[in-house]
Amino acid sequence: MNYYFLGIGGIGMSAIARYYKSEGFYVAGYDRVRGLICEELEGEGFDVHYEDDPSLIPLCCQDPALTVVVYTPAVPEDSREFCFFKNAGFKMYKRSQVLGEITRNERGLCVAGTHGKTTTSTILAHLLYQSSIECNAFLGGISNNYETNLLLSPNSNFVVIEADEFDRSFHYLHPYMAIVTSVDPDHLDIYGDVEGYRKGFEYFTSLIQPGGALVMKKGILLEPCLQKGVKLYTYSANEKADFYADNIRISEGEILFDFVAPTETVHDLKLGVPVLINIENSVAAMAVAWLNGITHNELRTALSSYAGIYRRFNVLVKNERVVLVDDYAHHPAEIRASIESVRKLYPNRKLTGVFQPHLYSRTRDFAEGFAESLSLLDELIMLPIYPARELPIEGVSSALIYEKVVCPVKQLVSKDQLLQVLSHREGEVILTLGAGDIDALVPKVAEMLKNEYLSIKKAQ
């Protein structure tokens, strides 16, 4: 059997593609853009092309009896290749359906939430993978520890999954245990309204298998629908719950805390990536790891060695002139958390944010929330919207947010202007934010800032 992926460069799609290749199947695919992930896939031996043209599909993938097609909702159904496969009667499955089938017979540890799910699932995967329990994992980000989004452990029947709510994808999963980090409204183009979004998460909790558990952030507005035999636990970073952090200490760029579980406390844990929001994410991850038998020493060692995720609060430049932090945050609550984390780490520096909105619909639906969060900056540099899968919406642009922001300094610039605008900065932290193609600009910004610093040091 062959597998062909429409949108193979997506973070979730590429993990499944890598899984099937590891199982010995022939895997190929199409993507609109030759991004970093696609370049890596090519280097790993995948056949990938970037023009929507059925004639470029490998011959071995043109037989409906021998090929399964996996697609992402980001690929339009009127695309030429999609129509070719559909009209020819190929078996076609959404990414979420395939992931559900892969994990049906394993103990799925599924992490859901508007924000925090990528970091929490990656921490959980690292904790288990480094322990005697081990795990497989399909991650929504590139782990800095392993430089991949797929972990495989042949001796383990645990699988960590980032449970994506977009397009109701997480409704195809079969969780043994689940974490819900947050239910702040998003994807209203899919769910209709706030109530519909929340009900999507409630249905997800009904899928947890008897004998399993739900670990839910304390205080979120969710009424879980649990099957008989499913246990409910709460977690928190700053108040008592079934699992919580206590005795939190922040000093000299390090964060230490105690992990309080229902029957015991693990003292003096060091957070590998010292960002405040990671305390909460780590507590959730440690709760599920603890419920599945990880030891104190395994927890302590793995948490301290956790190295983070590509584009999740990565510090790319750090010197006495300037600090550059890159973060994938693209929801108002995520942006607020990112800004507040930077403020805690660098309280005496000017904070400049570069934000690229992601999706016209999200910009329209949450313009007020974005503006409130971005107003916490000392300076805002706003880029045009990254449309991803969407067509323009009349009257919706970055200006919809920009005009509502009240920080002391703000600029609305094109991507081509960004390097010039950020040149010769001194005494500040630059925070790049967004889920679009800003990731292609960030390395150029980092290189420029490093070169400017080296030039000044040489001249002294």
User: What integer best gives the mean pLDDT of the chain?
Assistant: 94
Q: 237 Cβ partners below 8 Å, 6+ apart?
A: 244, 245, 276, 279, 280, 283
Q: What is the pLDDT of residue 341?
A: 86
Query: pLDDT tens for residues 167-187?
Result: 898 999 999 999 999 998 887
Q: What is the pLDDT of residue 387?
A: 92
- Give the pLDDT band (50/70/90) at residue 188: confident
In percent, how much of the chain has pLDDT > 90?
81
Query: pLDDT tens for residues 59-90?
Result: 999 999 999 999 998 888 899 999 999 999 99
* Ramachandran bin of 427, using left for φ above 0, alpha for ψ from -120 to 50, beta for the remaining angles: left
Q: Which of 102, 108, 109, 155 is nearest to 131 (CA)?
A: 155
- Domain 103-305 CATH (choose: 3.40.50.300, 3.40.190.10, 3.30.450.20, 3.40.1190.10): 3.40.1190.10
Secondary-structure class of domain 314-459 per CATH: alpha beta
SS (H, E, C) 384-429: CCECCCCCCCCCCCCHHHHCCCCCCEEEECCHHHHHHHHCCCCCEE
Q: What is the pLDDT of residue 429?
A: 96
Q: What is the pLDDT of residue 312?
A: 81
Q: Which fold has domain 2-95?
A: Rossmann fold (3.40.50)
**Which residue has better confidence, 345 or 339?**
339
Is residue 347's pLDDT more than 70?
yes
Instruction: Specify the range with the lowest mean pLDDT, choosing from 62-71, 248-257, 325-334.
Output: 248-257
Is residue 358's pLDDT more than 70?
yes
d(CA 210, CA 227): 6
Q: Is residue 22 a contact partner of residue 47, using CB atoms and an 8 Å limit?
A: no
Q: What is the DSSP letter of 152?
A: -
Show the DSSP H helices in 215-318 as ranges: 277-291, 296-305
d(CA 433, CA 442): 10
For the segment 256-279, the average pLDDT, to the nearest whole number, is 93
Angle formed at CA 195 by CA 124 and CA 277, multiple of 5 degrees: 30
Is residue 206's pLDDT more than 90?
yes
Q: What is the pLDDT of residue 262?
A: 97
Exposure letters 374-384 (e unless 16+ CB within 10 A, then b): bebbebbbbbe
Q: 10 Cβ partners below 8 Å, 6+ apart?
A: 31, 37, 72, 74, 95
For the segment 416-444, the average pLDDT, to the nearest whole number, is 94
Q: Where are the domains of the chain?
A: 2-95, 103-305, 314-459
**Which residue has better confidence, 35 or 80?**
80
- Cα distances from 232 to residues 117, 195, 204, 218, in angstroms, run 18, 22, 14, 11
Q: What is the pLDDT of residue 460?
A: 76
Helix (H) or strand (E) holding 339: helix 332-345
Q: What is the DSSP letter of 222?
A: -
The full DSSP string for 14-70 is: HHHHHHHHHTT-EEEEE-SS--HHHHHHHHTT-EEE-S--GGGS-GGGS-TTTEEEE
Q: What is the pLDDT of residue 252?
A: 63
- Give the pLDDT band (50/70/90) at residue 33: confident
Q: Which amino acid is at 319?
A: N
Q: How far is CA 104 from the centre of its chain?
A: 23
For the segment 304-328, the average pLDDT, to the nearest whole number, is 91
Q: Which of 188, 195, 177, 187 is nearest to 120 (CA)?
A: 177
- Give the pLDDT band (50/70/90) at residue 253: low
For the segment 314-323, the average pLDDT, to the nearest whole number, is 91
For the segment 292-319, the average pLDDT, to the nearest whole number, is 93
Domains 2-95 and 314-459 share a fold: no
